Structure 1
Amino acid sequence: MVSEIRLFTESTFLEEARNYQTVLSLRGVAVNIEIIEKLNARFLRFNPEIALCVDDQGLHLSANGMKMQPDWKAEIPRLKRASIKSEMIARACNLAEKPSLIDATAGLGHDTLLMAHLGAHVSLIERHPILFTLLEDSKNQASNDPFLNNIVSRIDLIFADSEQYLSQCVAENHTVDVVYLDPMFPQRDQNQNTIKKQAQVKKQMQLLHMLLPEDGEMDLGDYLLVLAQQIAKRVVVKRPRLAVFLNEQEPNHQWQGDACRFDAYFSTKIIE
């Protein structure tokens, strides 16, 4: 887990940078602000180490000449095209029923945004302080957008470790309609049973892989499935099309796409 990081900004945005510094320090990350003359592509190329930066668009993660943020405003065209009937995730998560839903594997929050748009009330769980702060900043910006405002009002960001959060739900007998899992790191190939990386990784995911720890074993989320099944009427797992089942557990139902699939596990313990 990153405990210290540099933050680049121009003097114009120093106040905003200090606000992020304060927030991250409360979450256990020491931020060293460096004021630079011009935050541009050339500067980022000459400063390839992982860092944060602040400009007129808010907080970004940067590395290897790139910068990224969970840009929820950029998802608006996709959201406007989406419908309950057209989205496989909507059928898998039964979004027509406007469920209470826990997204225990936050990533950049794009799936959560889509599910909230299609009617779900989502608790989005993220344990990494930097990624959580990036998500928080994206939600705050989205709250000021006329199209996104009502959507993000159905999203609760929760700064917590998903395993601990789900364990607490189990202990308190707290139930939800759906738990959604989309393990971030590369999956085991169904035929070879080995860890394989996709040939083309999007810029955003490249930076996330640099930020987030893999702790030796890839974060496949097997343990999350076991916990989720104790509190949810259904657990939905997004997988690459040929990946093995999470926790080697065969689902009750599947929705298959060209590149990915959704495995659903229906509870026999939770009363409707």
Structure 2
Amino acid sequence: MRLTCWYTQQCVDQLNDLRVRLFTRGVEIDPQEVALINAKFLRLNPELALVLDIDGLSLSANGMKMQPDWNAEIGRLKRATLKTEMLARATQANDQPRLIDATAGLGHDSLLMAKFGAKVTLIERHPILFTLLEASYERAQIDPFLASVVANITLVFADAEDYLEQQYAKQQKIDVVYLDPMFPQRDQNQQRPKKQAQVKKQMQILHLLLPEDGEMDLGDALLLQAQKIAKRVIVKRPRHAVFLNNDTPQHQWLGDACRFDGYFCMNSTE
């Protein structure tokens, strides 16, 4: 994989480090120095690219740029309680479980679970998204509030299905596996995909980086693997989406727009 990287002069040192990191992950970058990276520049350069500037590492496309902005989550994390956060209740995050987030995304759910005390292993297989998460993780380590939260998070660059299979082979004990598949497009009755409101800019750009490809992110195989090793598997779904693998959960936590399906696996590795 090869990708343009727009950068400003003050970021030369970070660029060299980025080049090495991505090369070890199978990505080559084409560095292009520019004087100023602003909204006009991004509109004039709409192709998918990396951006390295005073805001850190971002991904840009179609006149926008995005990054997993963990600092922007601080307000939510400070307000979060078990009463207000279904995810924390579903995963029993306050019991400090050993938890695998097998579908990392932007890492916001991992942050929330880690805030409540869960020891989270966050898995991401795409080299660009993993590197963006890594940059957010490093920035969070120097924030007075986030530092104690991300101390509960471990980042792993791996294919989640392979990683879960490895844990099974090693007979690892896992309390919770959390799944949030990226492309749950079909409703409960297997009808055609419904028209969706415009996705937030972060997800628009992620969909360009991670285009839907057959069963790429539908999560059926992940559910099967997770059920082999975890005492509890929690799956985040849109309110009317089909069950993963057509497997009816033992319990559901229902919200207005989404739900959490719970699978309790008493025969998991002990």
TM range (shorter): over 0.9
Q: CA deviation at 1:104?
A: 0.2
Q: CA deviation at 1:169?
A: 0.9
Distance 2:140 2:67 in 1: 13
Distance change in 2, residues 1:14/1:196 (3 Å): farther
- The CA RMSD measured in Å over matched residues stands at 1.3
Distance change in 2, residues 1:62/1:271 (3 Å): closer
Match of 1:102 among 100, 109, 123: 100
Is 1:76 aligned to residue 74 of structure 2?
yes
Instruction: Give a deviation string over 1:88-121, Cα, whole Å, max 9, x none.
Output: 1111101221111000000000000000001100
Match of 2:50 among 49, 52, 60: 52
Partner of 1:16: 14
Identity %: 61
Is 1:184 aligned to residue 182 of structure 2?
yes
CA contact (8 A) 1:103 1:124 kept: yes
CA contact (8 A) 2:184 2:237 kept: no
Partner of 1:164: 162
**Alignment size in residue pairs:** 270
Partner of 2:210: 212
CA contact (8 A) 1:190 1:244 kept: yes
Q: CA deviation at 1:218?
A: 5.1
Instruction: Give a deviation string over 1:38-66, Cα, whole Å, max 9, x none.
Output: 11110100000000010112100000000
Map residues 94-243 of structure 1 onto 2, 5 A cutoff: 94-196=92-194, 198-217=196-215, 219-243=217-241
Is 1:65 aligned to residue 78 of structure 2?
no
Partner of 2:37: 39
Q: Provide structure 1 residue ranges, at least 5 long, that are not aligned to the other structure.
A: none
Q: Secondary structure at the match of 2:4?
A: strand
Amino acid at match of 2:65: K
CA contact (8 A) 1:106 1:125 kept: yes
Distance 1:113 1:79 in 2: 8
Residue range with higher mean Cα deviation, 208-217 or 53-62: 208-217
CA contact (8 A) 1:6 1:52 kept: yes
Distance 2:22 2:103 in 1: 21
Distance change in 2, residues 1:196/1:223 (3 Å): farther
Instruction: Give a deviation string over 1:19-55, Cα, whole Å, max 9, x none.
Output: 1111101111000100012111101000000000101
Q: Which runs of 4+ in 1 moved over 2 A?
A: 191-198, 213-218
What is the TM-score when the length of structure 2 is the normalising length?
A: 0.97
Distance change in 2, residues 1:218/1:75 (3 Å): same
Distance change in 2, residues 1:93/1:215 (3 Å): same
Distance 1:162 1:133 in 2: 16
Distance 1:35 1:70 in 2: 23
Match of 1:260 among 258, 261, 266: 258
Distance 2:157 2:257 in 1: 31
Distance 1:171 1:104 in 2: 17
Distance 1:268 1:250 in 2: 16
Instruction: Give a deviation string over 1:222-264, Cα, whole Å, max 9, x none.
Output: 0000000010000000000001111100000000000000000
CA contact (8 A) 1:53 1:60 kept: yes
CA contact (8 A) 1:241 1:257 kept: yes
Distance 1:8 1:28 in 2: 19
